[in-house]
Amino acid sequence: MQKYIKAFVAVGIFVMLSPGNLFADCPTITQSGCCGGFTWKTYTFDLSCGWTSSSNVTTGTMWCGEPVHRIAYPTTSTETVTYYYTIPSTSSNWEIRLDYEFTNGGSASNYARADYTVARNGSQIGSGNIFYTNSAASCAVGSAYPFSWNAGDLLTITVTMRTASSGSYAEVSNLTLFKSPA
């Protein structure tokens, strides 16, 4: 009996932490329009939205005011933040945007990068880079577009940051998806 209870608890934890459930109340979705009927939806993710990270990632505020995931020296290992989102509706005009700040501490071997993958029915259908830097970047914006995704596709965005030199830090913030038309 105890074996079955442990199995039930394990399955329950998996379901609670699965990517589809990480976004119970996220992102915030708004609709906008202008210019002769052009419309779009904005999907804004905050720090409470579905993400996972390695152990040395902290949260804070970017100097330009945005809440961030951050790593900084003396953390010398490569750290990651991973966002997951199940695409809610089919559209041919999706865009990914991500803000970042980076200081390399005088070493080009330190870096910050963001990459995406998209899976449909368990098979990867696309991947690419959103941004990469190994030199100073202040309140910069990385983006990738346009994409055609179907409802139910799983978008995974992985941010990798390395800060192995004194004075180096990396921050990422304000993940936003846009879809046009709304």
Query: pTM for the complete prediction?
Result: 0.81
CATH number at residue 102: 2.60.120.260
Count of domains observed in the chain: 1
84 and 26 Cβ atoms separated by less than 8 Å = no
Q: For each of the chain's 182 residues, which pLDDT tens digit applies? A: 444 344 333 333 333 334 433 444 689 999 988 877 788 899 999 888 878 888 889 898 887 778 889 999 998 889 999 999 999 999 999 999 999 999 999 999 999 999 999 999 999 999 999 999 999 999 999 999 999 999 999 999 999 999 999 999 999 998 999 998 87
- For 174, the domain range is 2-179
102 and 172 Cβ atoms separated by less than 8 Å = no
- Run of H or E including 173: strand 169-179
